[in-house]
Structure 1
């Protein structure tokens, strides 16, 4: 099942009001090159906006990856704030390509500037890759990772979702993408910002990234503050994924 189909179900389920927030928006960020991570978090802190971060070991501008020792203080600080939620984006940024007749699945392992590699995993292999993120997050922060994940590129299949659920993981797609990973020729930053503010709907789970290698000039972090202000002006508020009607049971258990 592609993420877009699943996302339509999420949008409908996410509109129920949460405490003090009757038109909720749920911001989420997948890891990227991390060059904008501190600036993004500074904006979230300034406006006291919660977000969900889906973590993978992606190559960074510092020459390592987004879950290495360099980023340990960053993740620890965010976890200690208690405002944000954290899920797995698979350690290898494993992009599902197809199910195989023998019950296994084919993945492309690629993120950012990495050259692609391929892997064939059964359900246990995929669960191991999801859990590897959780283990590193606990080592960095002393806190458990929530049992939620986002498949890279949002690509899944019924088999993948079933296998992940069997080892305790719930998939979280998105309903609206900011487009920070779109080709610059597709839309300008001003157009993306305007479209995001105009088209957002209550219950939307919004996808963005902590650094995209290819888009120039980058959409974030410059567009994040006007996005937050613009959505608040339209009567929206920002809620944590733990308050989403579809995921609160999973995130609060």
Structure 2
């Protein structure tokens, strides 16, 4: 998670200096390309997404989304969890099956949580897996090998739930590149980032970036069509983000007239179904 943290701090520092902090709080009217099934009262749509992590907040996230009747998008990697198992182990089958039944969307986050390091000639990609047999090793992969890594999540998810992933992926840390995008496109996956105001900051230091500050930033900055990203638990943050912020974030956005949808309804990803 440390590599993520560097990227996370950089994004938050940039956002903190940006005008997004001063934007007015009211949501814009929904545009013509809003989700076709959005309720008439919606003034805009926010797309909540969650990446796997320590899974310490997995049950809380599921319960909160269910209480608000919200569907979100989950990006899955096989990460070490606070239970001492892995997030795509059979021990998590019941959890993922329940989320499938609730109608959420799911994408690949690379099976071994593989970080991009550099693009090389011939479409090759220098990477560093965080988990798995090659954890911590810097390797050079072909485009086909990278596609295999994305598909490993799909294969395991099918084994656990009987359902395929949506044809979406997110790189660990959000780092993509021309070679990664080309490799993924060749095997049918589209990359999903997040909006500047959609960066939860849950990987940053809770001393430097307390939850109240992160919540204020999100509520002030999120706009119609924005993708929001958080994790299902972060090992390093002393004051976890989700228990303090998820419920008030959703409630605050609902008070502003926002509705929520999965990325299957997002204008940029509808054709990926």
Q: Fold-level match, TM-score > 0.5?
A: yes
* 1:194 aligns with one of 216, 234, 240: 216
SS in 2 for 1:207: strand
- Mapped to 1, the partners of 2:272 and 2:182 lie a distance apart of 16
Contiguous gaps of at least 5 residues in structure 2: 1-6, 12-29
- Alignment-derived partner of residue 48 in structure 2: 27
Displacement of 1:61 after TM fit?
Answer: 0.8
Moved over 6 A (4+): none
* 1:215 aligns with one of 237, 248, 259: 237
- Mapped to 1, the partners of 2:138 and 2:113 lie a distance apart of 11
- Mapped to 2, the partners of 1:27 and 1:148 lie a distance apart of 14
Matched residue count: 237
Deviations 1:48-76 (A, max 9, x none): 11110000001111112110011111001
1:69 aligns with 2:90: yes
- Alignment-derived partner of residue 137 in structure 1: 157
1:86 aligns with 2:106: yes
- Alignment-derived partner of residue 115 in structure 2: 95
Contiguous gaps of at least 5 residues in structure 1: 5-13
Displacement of 1:182 after TM fit?
Answer: 1.1
Displacement of 1:115 after TM fit?
Answer: 6.3
- Alignment-derived partner of residue 170 in structure 1: 190
RMSD over equivalenced CA pairs, Å: 1.8
Deviations 1:10-40 (A, max 9, x none): xxxx963222144000000000011110111
1:116 aligns with 2:136: yes
- Alignment-derived partner of residue 10 in structure 1: none
- Alignment-derived partner of residue 148 in structure 1: 168
- Mapped to 1, the partners of 2:246 and 2:207 lie a distance apart of 20
Displacement of 1:187 after TM fit?
Answer: 1.1
- Mapped to 1, the partners of 2:81 and 2:138 lie a distance apart of 21
